[in-house]
Amino acid sequence: MTLILTNDDGIDAPGIRALLKAVEGQKVIVAAPVDHLSGCGHQVTTTKAINVHRRSVTEYAIAGTPADCTRIALSHLCPEAKFVLSGINAGGNLGADVYISGTVAAVREAAFHGVSGIAVSHYLKGKKNVDWDTAARWTKQVLADLMNRSPEVGTYWNINLPHLEPGDPDPEVVFCQPSTQPLPVNYRVEEDDYYYVGKYAQRDRTSGTDVDVCFAGKIAVTRLRL
């Protein structure tokens, strides 16, 4: 089975290296954006050329969006792929985030083509550093479960890892529903300029939703539908 790995933080981001570690030993094609494109959503490129630079036999740096990467990988680079994995994103993709996230868009695009997809993100608490080795280990465990489940056409998975303290026990995995509440909408206004100042950690935490589960220090897993 061949896996396509992509992200929206760029091909050189530490998160995609952690994802590679999580699937070590499996046949993998990396098809990821050249640039950092966090927050680009499901944008695609249709009016200009998309340069694809082959770095190695299994790695392609693509001058396009995450959804572009999935499209090109499934149509030309690896049509036989059975899974598209996206991440590990540096920052959560919970609830309403999935409509903004390029990370999630990459696997949503896969679902449109009948290919299973799993997005993985790591919630960031303040300015604390991410332990990518630990993130890879947690991801490996969750992927082992999800990738052995029977695929359901028109769906894809979204995983959010919590930000724990060094030495904390491994988090529980919780299957839950995505939050349907909006992100905080706050702006600082200076003359004609509006600066977004909403605080991610102050978003709604309705009990049992992915936001609440992840903020409580657990791995939130949601099945999303087209």
Distance between CA atoms of 153 and 179, rounded to whole angstroms?
A: 22
The pLDDT of residue 54 is above 90: yes
Q: Give the pLDDT of residue 1.
A: 82
Q: Which helix (H) or strand (E) holds 70?
A: helix 66-72
Task: Find the CATH number of the domain harbouring 21.
Answer: 3.40.1210.10
Query: Residue 37 in contact with residue 119, Cβ under 8 Å?
Result: no
Confidence at 207, pLDDT banded by 50, 70, 90: very high
Alpha carbon distances (Å) from 167 to 90, 134, 135, 170: 21, 11, 13, 9
- The pLDDT of 124-128, averaged and rounded, is 87
- The pLDDT of 4-24, averaged and rounded, is 98
Full residue range of the structural domain in which residue 170 is found: 2-225
- The pLDDT of 172-186, averaged and rounded, is 97
Q: Into how many domains does the chain fold?
A: 1
Alpha carbon distances (Å) from 104 to 84, 131, 164, 171: 11, 22, 23, 22
Residues contacting 209, CB < 8 A, separation 6+? 95, 176, 177, 178, 179, 180, 181
Q: What is the pLDDT of residues 59-73, one digit of tens each?
A: 999 999 999 999 999
Q: Give the pLDDT of residue 127.
A: 80
For the chain, what percentages of helix, strand and coil (3-state, to nearest 5) are there? 25, 30, 45
The pLDDT of residue 134 is above 90: yes
Burial class (CB in 10 A: 0-12, 13-18, 19+), 165: exposed
The pLDDT of residue 128 is above 90: no
Written as one letter, the residue type at 202 is: Q
Confidence at 80, pLDDT banded by 50, 70, 90: very high
Give backbone dihedrals phi and psi of 20, rounded to 5 degrees, phi first.
-60, -40
Q: What is the pLDDT of residues 97-111, one digit of tens each?
A: 999 999 999 999 999
